[in-house]
Structure 1
């Protein structure tokens, strides 16, 4: 017999070791029926190992897993699915060439009495799940044609279609805008009411504060705060995660001057930029604010020469520039830290040095031969200054944490001495300690007279770290607002179609 006090799922004394590393050390977590449970901690704390164990990807070395009070064994991902466990990993598992419906039921296709795939049911059931989620995506749409945010919603739809007893969400909002995040959170609340146990893993602590019922915090592979021991607010969670007070969460310095270093006028591209006009000042952080798909990244790509301008002009340092490609932008002193560092920002088979110098090979070569001593001196200095892991030169970057990977991408542009840096979601998927390191680095850059264009779907981050915010809708910049005059709610309203709801006093063109 089970009772209301019996956990739906219980993980008791779970341990897992790799050569030289005890990743999980007697971890205990209890998931109650109809509860959203946050699993938190910095990168390297053991969260990913725990997720892999619970989803059947790997086996624990010791410990027990109980479902409704009875011991079970999760031998592989299929066993996890049969037990009612659905995992939405941070790295998508969708097949881009298949339809949305095919992806939702992949590996579990409805069958007719004769054993053939029931395509009508695939599409009707997919439509039902998507309608339940309030997601406007057609079941027959090709998944690879969807935006990153829509693909994330398809991943979540797979879990919903299973009617799982436990759903594990690993950074579920990393690719979502504010509207999509609220849509997801409402879905999770509905699932909670139906009795689903939800394990929620996220580095975005502001949304954790809004959605979870209790938290378990890991540090160094161990539980340092079990459910009910830490108050669910950002400052208390951060303190438990890092083992002490980290100081100001957003350590913003105001280094902006009145000198204009970049001026964009009437930018348009075939990729969706419709009318982008703004200026960027020396030492300034200019935020681009807008909902998912508003055109923020497209403006960044246009500035950096990735997408060709069909109309408009750009001035850099008071002189007109026309970038045929990214190399022209780099030579002019521009830099882009892309939204997806894994596919667009890093060479994963290189160590830190090869990644850091990738944009400056001509400057450190003699007669076409790379000067390894110059490369080593420069990269060693940046690794030390940015407090990048000492393992960065001993291992290829795919073995480093997300925070170290992000700092290596930024180090590339410091090595190149870029004057204007475009940071597209620079803290996405990295822990609180690494986020604060990025914020402090932004201060160091602007203090040195460099200028930053910041794109972030984290509205608190955008408002706290920007001097001004340019509101983007449908590829156009509608207004430029002093960040200190704008609230979170104002930004949500301003980036929606009803921009007139923002008071005139708050908007400065």
Structure 2
């Protein structure tokens, strides 16, 4: 491997956030003309590390060298000036501008005081042509497919003479043919001497594409494969490591009565013929990696994405759900992954946030009964052990764990019997996590059914009764949680894409 010159070197990179050491002495060598995978389960420190390389975060300790010289990447603009180009999962393209305008955004070529449009089109054509990207420079970006937009992002990166290209989960939204085209493009860039840092959950694709892989766990490097052949099973065992013996206070409240069933659910958003049932008092986990289609299944059940086929039953009775309002009336609830933008009204205290899904219960003849609302709020503060501050303070001033409890209180007040919890403990500390686990036990003890989506594999296995494994929008199999291992969940994503076409 030494015939590839060392281009970038990270040495002892450390980054601490309140309560968590996200990067703990990470050292990585990135060579010219090499594709280097950065792997690990969610929460292992990958995102923090790429944000440090992109100039979004500054490390608390350690050194970054470019061609042997120490560099400080103090901002995204400064990192770009050093030749670092990052293609995040969320694109940074302006949809109303053309491909050429996006490629040269913020640095249009000029002739005197005016933009040299002809030169910009010509140079965009050269960049696109050199990468074999067949997209016209005058196309409006908003009219392009996701795959085409991604290629434009990469062309934009190349046009700034990037020496390091970072790709964060680039294949999540791509089909098989588009992935083949992306890999071809990356191999061409590798031949040009660019160093590529590639983050992906699809291990089959990683093994076929990359030269070297660094595996992170709990903010530390646990393995670097420099010079050795990559193997999916070996990667999985290193990513998973030893089971973390965290405290998961699981209660088994499952009954024999089927409360919820989904039959042959499909949507235009990638859900493919999904069928499963959940018993009263059961926690049914949806396992898989980011992009596997778990959230899309939740959206289908809750009426956010219309069904193209399939049916949903509650208590043995088929219910028609055309929108979230129908879902709420029927007794379904969704606690979304992003509670900040989708789950809470931050300009209200706990009371209105709890009662908002069932205002009829506190409505007088003309006005809402504030006294009733206050009593309801106090009741749930007691039942769910929510911070008493929720009665008077805006919910944005509460901790993440208390915010999550307020959302769950809302659905209990609305009379929900099936609760879909999408990443319910993401971004909250261990004390708040345990409070949420106790809350899941309280829900199932009441006879509710819980559908749990979690990328924390320890949590999913410990808190579920059964787990349905999801890959590319399809339910592969359902197992008792006690029979599921980390390897099942990670390897589910490592099956070759071609099998999914069957």
Structure 2-normalised TM-score? Answer: 0.62
1:298–1:165 Cα change, 3 Å: closer
The answer (yes or no) to whether the contact 2:37–2:206 under 8 Å persists in 1 is no
The answer (yes or no) to whether the contact 2:302–2:323 under 8 Å persists in 1 is yes
- Identify the residue that residue 71 of structure 2 maps to in structure 1: 72
1:153–1:431 Cα change, 3 Å: farther
Alpha-carbon displacement from aligned partner over 1:188-229 (angstroms, at most 9, x marks no partner) = 566556543344567x5968985661245564xxxx447649
- Identify the residue that residue 167 of structure 1 maps to in structure 2: 165
Alpha-carbon displacement from aligned partner over 1:15-50 (angstroms, at most 9, x marks no partner) = 7788x889788845332302515376875x876665
Partners of 2:206 and 2:198 in 1: how far apart?
11
The answer (yes or no) to whether the contact 2:292–2:470 under 8 Å persists in 1 is no
1:93–1:471 Cα change, 3 Å: closer
Partners of 1:491 and 1:216 in 2: how far apart?
22
The answer (yes or no) to whether the contact 1:65–1:73 under 8 Å persists in 2 is yes
Does 2:36 align with 1:36? yes
Equivalent residue in structure 1 for 2:325, among 311, 324, 327: 327
1:213–1:469 Cα change, 3 Å: closer
The answer (yes or no) to whether the contact 2:335–2:408 under 8 Å persists in 1 is yes
Does 2:195 align with 1:197? yes
Structure 2 counterpart SS, 1:371 = helix
1:86-97 matches, cutoff 5 A = 86-97=85-96
Alpha-carbon displacement from aligned partner over 1:379-435 (angstroms, at most 9, x marks no partner) = 575578xxx9x99x999669978x9988876675466553334567x499879999x
The answer (yes or no) to whether the contact 2:271–2:296 under 8 Å persists in 1 is no
The answer (yes or no) to whether the contact 1:254–1:467 under 8 Å persists in 2 is no
* Structure 1: runs of 5 or more not aligned: 500-509
Does 2:357 align with 1:359? yes
Equivalent residue in structure 2 for 1:371, among 346, 370, 373: 373
Partners of 1:53 and 1:66 in 2: how far apart?
13
Structure 2 counterpart SS, 1:168 = strand
The answer (yes or no) to whether the contact 1:348–1:396 under 8 Å persists in 2 is yes
Count of residue correspondences: 466
The answer (yes or no) to whether the contact 2:176–2:498 under 8 Å persists in 1 is no
Structure 2 counterpart SS, 1:8 = strand
The answer (yes or no) to whether the contact 1:130–1:137 under 8 Å persists in 2 is no
Partners of 1:4 and 1:419 in 2: how far apart?
62
1:466-505 matches, cutoff 5 A = 482-483=477-478, 488=492, 496-497=500-501, 499=502
* Structure 2: runs of 5 or more not aligned: 481-487
- Identify the residue that residue 121 of structure 2 maps to in structure 1: 120
- Identify the residue that residue 503 of structure 1 maps to in structure 2: none
Structure 2 counterpart SS, 1:86 = strand
The answer (yes or no) to whether the contact 2:108–2:115 under 8 Å persists in 1 is no
Partners of 1:274 and 1:245 in 2: how far apart?
32
Partners of 1:239 and 1:127 in 2: how far apart?
42
Partners of 1:169 and 1:208 in 2: how far apart?
14
State the Cα RMSD in Å. 6.4
- Identify the residue that residue 420 of structure 1 maps to in structure 2: 418
| 1:155 shift after superposition | 4.1
